[in-house]
Amino acid sequence: MARRVIISGGGTGGHIFPAVAIANALKELAPDTEILFVGANGKMEMEKVPAAGYKIVGLDIQGINRQSLWKNIFLPVKLVKSLLKAKSVIKSFQPQVAVGVGGYASGPLLMMAGKLGIPTLIQEQNSYAGVTNKKLGVKAAQICVAFEGMEQFFPADKITLTGNPIRRPSVAIEGKREEALASFGFDSTKRTVLITGGSLGARTLNRCLQAGLDKLIAANIQVIWQCGSYYYESLNGSLNLPTSIQLMPFIQRMDYAYAAADLIIARAGAGTISELCVVGKPVIMVPSPNVAEDHQTKNAQSLVQKDAAVLIADSEAEDLLIDALLALLSDADRMTSLGQEIKKLARLDADRVIAQQVLDLADKK
């Protein structure tokens, strides 16, 4: 009999990419597995998941708005409606396992699955577990984590250190350096820096680049600057950039960007870190301060403790980042050491390891 699995969560690419990677791995290991996604209405998973070839059902759920408390007035009603919808979806689909990857829909779906006796698996991507996952972890059958030391949040006997699922095509950089540099119109004899704020962009990183352009140009540095679609029009219209500075809203070929780079500047989302570990290039991390429990800073600190990355606080980045970047590029030994240490943390097969645990739980049901 075909196994049936519900995968819930989303809200950002950092949740959606791992969810789809787990689904793809399930299909590789057990092609007859039936998979249903559950997401939040109005969030990007409602488009990205069908584009990846999977069915998805939306819950009318939202997160807590900490900036405007009055916008939370309907949250209790939405939670009750989402729980009832989740119950209906579970009874209709009859899964053997429910998987939560984080995001608004993950809480109601896994809560209801637990009440209905469905084994649950949590995929915790960050080094600091959020409130919802900590509560869900009490009843979860299995908890797959990406960082060491997660016993402070979850029962130790349920934890498996798997790493985060990654987009394999994005990190397939072997032997691509020359063609990657050519695709950006870059000179292979010059040093190249990749600066990425994720699909939405990062205001702080963009401001750092604007302020430091003259220094980068004077130092003859080539830059791949992924600024985010929200910022692209205003930046492109106001800056007169040389060909050595390539500004783009979104990078379609991340493998080329990673392959071309000698040094990478990035936020510290869990998915980004997992990719950077596999890529094995020196990294300066500027964690976003606009996330729950400041988990990006904690993610970055977990690398810094292993001497596998440099951390610059968002509040200090405009003053320090460009000078730190230039100093690091001139320190060949430090560049080599950072690349070697971050590579040691790479876990390429997390998607398959997690998928196998899902299948094992389904077979026990």
Q: What is the pLDDT of residues 232-253, one digit of tens each?
A: 999 988 998 999 999 999 999 9
Who contacts 154 (Cβ-Cβ below 8 Å, separation ≥6)? 122, 124, 129, 134, 137, 140, 143, 145
Q: End-to-end CA distance of the chain: give it in Å, rounded.
A: 12
Check the annotation: does 199 bind a ligand: yes
Distance separating alpha carbons of residues 239 and 41, to the nearest angstrom:
37
Cβ(194)–Cβ(260) under 8 Å? yes
Distance separating alpha carbons of residues 71 and 93, to the nearest angstrom:
33
| 34-40 sheet: strands from edge to edge | 55-59, 34-40, 4-8, 97-100, 120-124, 142-145, 159-161
Check the annotation: does 299 bind a ligand: no
Task: Kindly state the greatest CA–CA separation across the chain.
Answer: 65
Taking the alpha carbons of 78, 80, 81, 85 in that order, is the dihedral positive or negative?
positive
* Beta carbons within 10 angstroms of residue 66's beta carbon: 9
Check the annotation: does 53 bind a ligand: no
The pLDDT assigned to 63 comes to 62
* Beta carbons within 10 angstroms of residue 266's beta carbon: 24
pLDDT in tens, the chain (365 residues): 789 999 998 877 778 889 999 999 999 999 999 999 999 998 889 999 999 999 999 998 866 555 555 566 666 777 788 899 999 999 999 999 999 998 888 999 999 999 999 999 999 998 888 888 899 999 999 999 998 899 999 999 999 999 999 888 899 999 999 999 999 999 999 999 999 987 666 889 999 999 999 999 999 999 999 999 889 999 988 998 999 999 999 999 999 999 999 999 999 998 899 999 999 999 999 999 887 778 899 999 999 999 999 999 999 999 999 999 999 999 999 999 999 999 999 998 999 999 999 999 999 86
Adjacent-strand bridge partners of 99: 7, 121
Check the annotation: does 197 bind a ligand: no
Check the annotation: does 126 bind a ligand: yes
The pLDDT assigned to 290 comes to 80
* Beta carbons within 10 angstroms of residue 264's beta carbon: 25
**Residue 321 host element (H or E):** helix 317-329
Distance separating alpha carbons of residues 74 and 62, to the nearest angstrom:
9
The model's pLDDT over 134-190, given as tens digits with 9 standing for 90+, comes to 999 999 999 999 988 999 999 999 999 999 998 888 999 999 999 999 999 999 999
- Look at residue 182 and give its three-state secondary structure: helix
User: Token match 């510290």: residue?
Assistant: 268
Distance separating alpha carbons of residues 90 and 119, to the nearest angstrom:
12
Check the annotation: does 301 bind a ligand: no
**CA–CA distances in Å: residue 287 to residues 156, 298, 317, 347:** 28, 9, 10, 21
Distance separating alpha carbons of residues 98 and 95, to the nearest angstrom:
7
Distance separating alpha carbons of residues 253 and 211, to the nearest angstrom:
27
The pLDDT assigned to 10 comes to 81
Domains, the chain, ranges and CATH?
A: 4-166+348-364 (3.40.50.2000), 169-343 (3.40.50.2000)
Cβ(314)–Cβ(287) under 8 Å? yes
Whole-model pTM: value is 0.86
